[in-house]
Structure formats: C-alpha cells, structure tokens
Amino acid sequence: MSGLREVKIPVTVLTGYLGAGKTTLLNRILSESHGKKYAVIVNEFGAIGIDNDLVVGADEEIYEMNNGCVCCTVRGDLIRVIGGLMKRAGSFDGILLETTGLADPAPVAQTFFVDEEISGRVCLDSVIAVVDAYHIMSQLGASEHHKEAEDQIAFADAILLNKVDLVSAEELARVEATISGINEFAEIVRCEKCNAPLDKIMGRGSFDLDRIIADAPGFLAAGEDEKAHHKDAALRHDHSISSVSMMLDSPIDIDKFEQWLGELRSIKGQDLLRYKGILDLANSDKRFAVQGVHMMMDGGNLDVWPEDEKRQSRMVFIGRNLDEVALRKSFEWCAL
C-alpha cells in the first residue's frame, strides 16, 4: 500500500474564484525555501507571470525556473500535458495545478480517474480552494457567480480563507459558517495574502486512498454531532449543495454496494461532487476505501482492520440536491 503511494507523483489542485489569491499562493509556494521542486500547470491560455519577473509565453509549454521548479501553460488536453511531464519524472517532487477562476474542479479531478496511464503515475493529493473572505458572500449571492464559487468550495479538501484582515470578526464568523454549510468536512485555514503554513497546503493526502482512513474522523460527523456543527440555524447556508454522512455497523455485501452505487451514479452522477468511504466488507479482514467524482469512482483495499478498532462502514457524500433519507435507507440496504 505505502509502496504504491511512494512511486506516484502527488498533484495539488489550487482552485478558487477570480481574484481570491490563487496566483499569490502559487508564487509563494514557488519562492519559499522548502527544498522541493514542483512542476506547475496553469489552466489558462496565453502568457502568465510568476513572481513578476518570469513570463512563460504561449509558444513555451515547459520552462524550468531558476529555483528548480517547472512551469507550463496548458494548451489542449491535461492528459497530454501530464504525459509530457512524466518524461521528466524524477526532476520534480510534485505537481501544482492552478485552475481558472471560473473553473469547475471536477473535470480536473476526473482526469486522475479516467486515464489509466496517468492514474498509474500520479495521484491527486488534495484540492485546495482559495476563498476571498471580503467578496465571497456577494459572489455566492450573485446568480452568475453562484455555481462556480459554490462548487469550488464544495469540492475542496481544505479552504484557504484569504483576506481575513479586510472583514470584521462578525463578518468572518458569518463567512465561515456559510462555508461550513456548503462543505463541513473541509478544514478552514485563515490567512492574509495566502500566508498559510505550507503543511496546510502541500502533502495533505486528502484525496488519496492510502490516506483516506486517516482523514475519516475529520470528515465524518453523524447524528447529533453533525447537528451540533450547525447549531445556529440562522447561519446555515440556503444553497443547493449539502453533505450527508452515514455509518453502518453491519458488514457490507460488496455486490449490493456496487449495484447501489452504480445506480446512484447513473441517476445522480452530475450532482455527486465528491464522495468518500471506508467499508467493512463481508468476508474480508481489510478496510476497503472508495472515492469518486461525479460518475468516476475508484476503490481498493487498505490495511487490515486493527483488533482494537470497531469494524464499521462510513460514507460521506457532498453534492447538489441530495435526498438524505433515501441515501441512508439505500446504504442500509447494502448490509449483508
């Protein structure tokens, strides 16, 4: 298990709405003395500037910077770009992918599920959303911005809440409550000028099957604990995105589970932004991890269940227009 992870190159996706601070964050990562080299994919056409003194032109796809990083502009398919980077594998420690401010991060994440060659060489380490604390409420309230801004928050493993110095304590509390209402499982890190600690951004392992079990306590909240998370009803979001977390004490019948999740994806695939789970499969002594994006799903065995840990299946869905009652009932149907 750990060996498979070591040979794959981790990819960190930086997302966030226009002006949130993604490029500021990218420049900071590239300029800090962390001793690592990163390849950078910028999901934009044309020229880009890095640290105000390096411009990668449209005719240059890969450019090696003085600090050892690699920078590329994306022209065409992401798979082709990553495939080209793989020819330089060993010359960098990870890949940073900055999306456009209007991008839906889901298609980017799907790339790491649908292409076998890519999935065998790289792993999606985490999705980091940079959120502008000063403007996010108006962005969520504007119909032309609503979907993109909300999806970026819902999809993230961690939220860098930037520009917190520009809002009052009361407004900051309201912003954080709104973000948690959209995605209660993402860690919120307050920052100014994207000055968050790098260990909150890089190497989180939030999206990796080998690390999902370590994240389970963080993204799982059920029953009364989940309700307490949003005890102030006035601050809860009124958007279409919600999260549902479920636990099941009985072993899972894998055939039933595959049938259930297959039907769910065929009916609600576009509404399922993210889903993760740790399953206790019948007739297996190993934890089974599953995760997906829309229609794309991946799964595999993790380590053996510890003798001192209760065997229990846990699933989390983040999506649009989720029917919590139906999800819970159908998940229970998967029990042996």
84-142 pLDDT per residue, tens: 888 877 778 888 888 777 667 777 777 777 677 777 888 888 999 999 999 999 888 77
Q: Are residues 33 and 178 in the same domain?
A: yes
Q: What is the pLDDT of residue 331?
A: 96
> Is the pLDDT assigned to residue 4 strictly greater than 50?
no
Q: Is residue 232 part of a domain?
A: no
Q: Is residue 228 part of a domain?
A: no
Q: What is the pLDDT of residue 7?
A: 63
Q: Are residues 193 and 104 in the same domain?
A: yes
- We report the CATH number of the domain holding residue 132 as 3.40.50.300
- We report the CATH number of the domain holding residue 328 as 3.30.1220.10
> Is the pLDDT assigned to residue 278 strictly greater than 80?
yes
CB 294, CB 273: distance < 8 Å: yes
Q: Are residues 175 and 283 in the same domain?
A: no
Q: How far apart are CA 320 and CA 155, in angstroms?
A: 11
Q: How far apart are CA 150 and CA 139, in angstroms?
A: 9
Q: 């960190």: which residue's tokens?
A: 12
CB 28, CB 195: distance < 8 Å: yes
> Is the pLDDT assigned to residue 162 strictly greater than 70?
yes
pLDDT digits (tens, 9 = 90+) for 31-77: 887 888 888 877 653 333 333 333 233 333 433 443 445 554 333 45
* Domain-terminating residue out of 175, 200, 225: 200
Q: What is the pLDDT of residue 211?
A: 58
Q: Is residue 322 part of a domain?
A: yes
Q: Are residues 252 and 297 in the same domain?
A: yes
108 burial level (CB within 10 Å; 0-12, 13-18, 19+): buried
* Domain-terminating residue out of 200, 227, 256: 200
Q: Is residue 51 part of a domain?
A: yes
Q: What is the pLDDT of residue 9?
A: 87
Say which residue, 186 or 241, is predicted with more confidence.
186
Q: How far apart are CA 50 and CA 71, in angstroms?
A: 9
Q: What is the pLDDT of residue 63?
A: 36
Q: Could you report how far apart the first and last alpha carbons of the chain are, in Å?
A: 27
Q: What is the pLDDT of residue 179?
A: 94
pLDDT digits (tens, 9 = 90+) for 310-323: 899 998 888 888 99
Q: Is residue 229 part of a domain?
A: no
Residue 149, token pair as written in the block:
């801004």
Name the most confidently modeled range: 31-45, 106-120, 210-224, 267-281: 267-281
Cα dist from 188 to 69, 136, 291, whole Å: 28, 14, 22
Q: How far apart are CA 228 and CA 236, in angstroms?
A: 12
Reported as a pLDDT band with limits 50, 70 and 90, residue 145 is low
Residue 243, token pair as written in the block:
């999260």
Q: Which of 39, 36, 30 is nearest to 11 (CA)?
A: 39
Cα–chain-centroid distance for residue 243? 14
Q: Are residues 7 and 154 in the same domain?
A: yes
Q: Are residues 21 and 164 in the same domain?
A: yes
> Is the pLDDT assigned to residue 258 strictly greater than 90?
yes
Cα dist from 179 to 156, 246, 323, whole Å: 11, 21, 20
Q: Are residues 181 and 37 in the same domain?
A: yes
Domain span at residue 8 reads 2-200
* Domain-terminating residue out of 174, 200, 226: 200
Q: Mean pLDDT of all residues in the chain?
A: 77
Q: Are residues 145 and 16 in the same domain?
A: yes
**Residue 52: how many CA atoms within 13 Å on its side-chain side?**
2
- Give Cβ neighbours of residue 137 (< 8 Å, ≥ 6 apart): 171, 174, 175, 178
Q: Is residue 140 part of a domain?
A: yes
Q: Are residues 128 and 271 in the same domain?
A: no
> Is the pLDDT assigned to residue 308 strictly greater than 90?
no
Q: Is residue 226 part of a domain?
A: no
Q: Is residue 43 part of a domain?
A: yes
Q: Are residues 23 and 172 in the same domain?
A: yes
Q: Are residues 174 and 317 in the same domain?
A: no
Residue 235, token pair as written in the block:
């601050």
DSSP string, 162-226: E-GGGS-HHHHHHHHHHHHHH-TTSEEEE-STT---GGGTSS--TT-TTTHHHHHHHH---HHHH
Q: Are residues 92 and 192 in the same domain?
A: yes
The helices-and-strands tally (H runs, E runs) of the chain is 12, 15
CB 222, CB 246: distance < 8 Å: yes
Residue 254, token pair as written in the block:
């894998």
Q: How many domains would you assign to the chain?
A: 2
Reported as a pLDDT band with limits 50, 70 and 90, residue 209 is low
Reported as a pLDDT band with limits 50, 70 and 90, residue 212 is low
